């Protein structure tokens, strides 16, 4: 029995790695599905343009499908760039021999504007491929072409989705809402005679390869045995995250980040384990004299580009406090458990992205002197120098303070302190790449 599920992509290659076969394979991997490929066309492409297209002979495309279907087996498949009518006919003829679900992304034009389907091949796509589709995933412009009507609103998208399904025999159609008017990206699914809307905010980010990755995510989840509507729901979350976390590369349309889906949860688990171990070690060190009145926190942030808000930084819930003669963490390590220190580390990372961990300890002149003697780079900020407009903005003091301390020493500080203000306890913050490095620096001060 085969334990891993398989998904096949019948699509073109994008040398920029943002769309096509490359996007599909990364997406399959993100869902733990083994990817199979039948390449239809090789494109020379980057984020700005498609500069060459070389179509694969139709019989070679068919043979790629046959080779993997008969040996390995295909749990679900998708089509992307099919390029010309001969490839379309060959793909239709071959996939008819098998009974896997088929998701059809009717790729016509690249984000950069280059045609990826010959004008005379649209009719062949409608005639030969769409009748075999479990789901067709057009964007607004593709849906206009397939339905022959203009789409401006969600209501228009509903009419178009039904029209495409009824006229072509496709089992379901989802008209994607990325290019439709409104604050939200609302995708309209027409399936079994009824509609379902999938909503997500239109996020800022990278969109090259969105159509490919979205249809590949649906395919991967169909391969895993999800029903169609559930597969689309997961794919919508996946693509919204992928756009928001897109890779800022190239000079044109930057590509979706498919790894965010697995990288963020994996990193969170690693951070949780490492920080929990370090907090335990800190408790065992029992540095009673280092615990300030307000308590200590110990934080560890997700790496960039994932570290954006305090919820992306793990800390100790309820902080670490002094109980009699012992140092104790009040609660467990949790993401979002720190406010002050999270803001400090997020600011530090803007200058030194690898420095993702920090701890705060009680201020004393002696500790600062010891840090300098031990060769640590020490800087400080003076709350009396804080501009009025920063003081008035809630939560702005720490980012301002960390930034001014970094600029003051013109090199990466290990330690930043401030002398407090009315109602504000003076404090020392120690920074490191990870909790272990923070503890190593702290040991120098004991
Ligand atoms: C080889 C190849 N296939 C498909 C596309 C389309 O990708 P993109 O231009 O980003 O548009 P969507 O993925 O959003 O449909 C391509 N450029 N190259
Ligand atoms: C009050 C204060 N100021 C800098 S660190 C600190 C204590 C930790 O605060 P948080 O738990 O919000 O990170």
CATH 3.40.225.10 fits 263-443, yes or no: yes
As a whole number, mean pLDDT of residues 121-139 equals 97
Region 220-226: mean pLDDT is: 98
Say what the pLDDT of residue 296 is.
98
| Residue 392 confidence (pLDDT) above 90 | no
Percentage, residues of the chain above pLDDT 70: 100
Ligand 1 centre distance from Cα of residue 326 (Å)? 60
Distance CA 373, CA 376 (A): 7
Residue 271 and residue 315 in contact, taking contact as beta carbons nearer than 8 Å? no
Least confident of 65-69, 96-100, 417-421: 417-421
What is the rounded CA–CA span in Å between residue 56 and residue 82? 10
User: What is the band of 383 on the pLDDT scale with cuts at 50, 70, 90?
Assistant: confident
Which residues are within 8 A (CB) of 165 and not within 5 positions of it... i.e. 6 or more apart? 136, 171, 172, 173, 190
Burial 60-82 (b: 16+ CB within 10 A, else e): ebbebbeebbeeeebbbbbbbbb
The domain limits of the chain are 6-258, 263-443
- Which residue's CA is the closest to the ligand 2 atom numbered 8? 297
Task: Check if the beta carbon of residue 258 is closer than 8 Å to that of residue 210.
Answer: no
Catalytic site residues? 176, 207, 209-212
Top pLDDT among 183 and 226 is at: 226
For residue 390, what pLDDT band results from cuts at 50, 70 and 90?
Answer: confident
Place of tokens 């992509």: 9
pLDDT at 391 over 90: no
pLDDT band at residue 352 under the 50/70/90 scheme: very high
Span 345-374, mean pLDDT?
Answer: 98
- Work out the average pLDDT over 197-226: 96
pLDDT in tens, 62-83: 999 999 999 999 999 999 999 9
d(CA 339, CA 309): 10
Question: Quick one: pLDDT band at residue 428, thresholds 50, 70, 90?
Answer: very high
From CA 383, how far away is CA 76, in angstroms rounded?
61
Q: What is the model's pLDDT at position 178?
A: 83
- Is the four-CA dihedral 222, 228, 234, 239 of positive or negative sign? positive
Task: Summarize the confidence of residues 102-127 as an average pLDDT.
Answer: 94
Which residues neighbour 375 within 8 Å (Cβ) at sequence distance 6 or greater?
none
Mean pLDDT of the chain: 96
The b/e string for 267-277 (b: 16+ C-beta within 10 A; e otherwise) is beeebbebbbe
The predicted structure's pLDDT at residue 182: 78
- CB contact set of 55 (below 8 Å; sequence gap of 6+): 40, 41, 83, 84, 87
Residue-level pLDDT at 395 = 87
Evaluate whether 21 touches 39 at the Cβ level (below 8 Å).
yes
Q: How many CB atoms lie within 10 A of CB 444?
A: 14
**pLDDT tens column, 354-366:** 999 999 999 999 9
* Mean pLDDT of all residues in 218-239: 98
* Residue whose entry in the numeric block shows the structure tokens 């401006």: 152
The pocket around ligand 1, CB under 6 angstroms, is made up of 11-14, 19-20, 43, 45, 80-81, 107, 110-111, 116, 208-212
Helices (H) and strands (E) in the chain, counts: 14, 18
CB atoms within 10 A of CB 102: 28
Closest CA to 356 of 267, 417, 431: 431
Beta strand pairing call for 326-329 and 298-301: unpaired
Question: Which residues are near ligand 2 (CB < 6 Å)?
Answer: 294, 297, 315, 319, 338-342, 360, 427
3-state SS class at 24? helix
Indicate if the pLDDT at residue 399 is higher than 90. Answer: yes
Q: Which atom of ligand 2 is nearest to the CA of 319?
A: 11
Position 417 confidence tier, pLDDT thresholds 50, 70, 90: very high
DSSP state of 57: P
Q: Is the ipTM of this complex over 0.95?
A: no
CA 119 to centroid of chain Cα atoms? 34
**6-258 adopts what CATH topology?**
3.40.1190
pTM listed for this prediction = 0.94
SS3 assignment, position 212: helix
Burial of 415 (0-12, 13-18, 19+ CB in 10 A): buried
Q: What is the DSSP string of 230-283?
A: HHHHHHHHHHHHHHHT----SSSSPBP-STHHHHHHHHHHHHHHHHHHHHHHHH
Output the furthest CA–CA distance in the chain (Å, rounded): 82
pLDDT confidence of residue 388? 86
Please name the helix (run of DSSP H) or strand (run of DSSP E) that holds residue 228, with its range, or none.
helix 228-244
DSSP per position, 291-312: --TT-B-EEEEPPTTT--SGGG
Q: Give 320's pLDDT tier (boundaries 50, 70, 90).
A: very high
Best mutation site among 336, 359, 360 for ligand 2, i.e. most ligand atoms within 8 A of its Cβ?
360
Tell which residue, 428, 23, 18, has the closest CA to residue 219: 23
Q: Identify which ligand lies nearest to the alpha carbon of 319.
A: 2
**Ligand 1 atom at minimal distance to the Cα of residue 110:** 9
pLDDT at 292: 98
At residue 387, the pLDDT reads: 87
Are 134 and 222 in contact by the 8 Å Cβ rule? The answer is yes
Is pLDDT of 181 > 80? no
Give the pLDDT of residue 179.
Answer: 79
Residue 316 bridge partners (DSSP): 333
The pLDDT value given to residue 192: 93
Chain centroid, CA 320 distance in Å: 32
- Mean pLDDT throughout 145-159? 96
């Amino acid at each position: 029995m085969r334990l891993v599920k398989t998904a096949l992509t019948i699509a073109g290659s994008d040398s920029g790695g943002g769309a096509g076969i490359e996007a599909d394979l990364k997406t399959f991997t993100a869902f733990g599905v083994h990817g199979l490929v039948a390449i239809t066309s090789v494109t020379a492409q980057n984020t700005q343009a498609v500069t060459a297209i070389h179509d694969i002979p139709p019989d070679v495309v068919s043979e790629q499908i046959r080779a993997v279907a008969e040996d390995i087996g295909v749990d679900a498949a998708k089509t992307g760039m099919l390029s010309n009518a001969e490839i379309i006919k060959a793909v239709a003829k071959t996939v008819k021999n098998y009974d896997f679900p088929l998701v059809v992304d009717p790729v016509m034009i690249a984000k950069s504007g280059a045609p990826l389907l010959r004008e005379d091949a649209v009719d062949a796509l409608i005639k030969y491929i769409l009748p075999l589709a479990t789901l067709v995933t057009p964007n607004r412009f593709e849906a206009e072409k397939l339905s022959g009507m203009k789409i401006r609103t969600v209501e228009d998208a509903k009419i178009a989705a039904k029209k495409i399904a009824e006229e072509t025999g496709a089992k379901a159609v989802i008209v994607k809402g990325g290019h439709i008017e409104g604050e939200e990206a609302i995708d309209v699914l027409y399936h079994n005679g009824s509609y379902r809307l999938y909503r997500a905010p239109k996020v800022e980010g990278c969109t090259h390869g969105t159509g490919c990755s979205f249809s590949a995510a649906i395919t991967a989840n169909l391969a895993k045995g999800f029903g169609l509507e559930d597969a689309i729901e997961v794919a919508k979350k996946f693509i919204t995250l992928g756009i928001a976390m897109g890779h800022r590369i190239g000079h044109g349309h930057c590509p979706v980040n498919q790894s965010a889906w697995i990288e963020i949860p994996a990193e969170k688990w690693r951070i949780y384990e490492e920080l929990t171990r370090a907090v335990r070690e800190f408790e065992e060190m029992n540095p009673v004299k280092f615990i300030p009145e307000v308590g200590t926190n110990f934080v560890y942030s997700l790496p960039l580009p994932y570290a954006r808000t305090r919820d992306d930084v793990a800390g100790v819930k309820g902080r670490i406090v002094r109980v009699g003669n012992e140092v104790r963490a009040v609660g467990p390590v949790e993401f979002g458990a720190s406010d002050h220190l999270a803001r400090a580390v997020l600011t530090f990372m803007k200058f030194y992205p690898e420095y993702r961990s920090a701890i705060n300890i009680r201020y004393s002149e002696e500790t600062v002197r010891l840090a300098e003697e031990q060769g640590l780079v020490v800087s400080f900020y003076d709350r009396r120098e804080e501009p009025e407009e920063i003081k008035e903005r809630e939560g702005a003091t720490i980012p301002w303070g960390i930034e001014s301390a970094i600029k003051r020493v013109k090199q990466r500080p290990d330690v930043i302190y401030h002398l407090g203000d009315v109602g504000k306890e003076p404090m020392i913050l120690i920074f490191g790449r990870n909790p272990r490095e923070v503890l190593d620096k702290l040991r120098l001060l004991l």
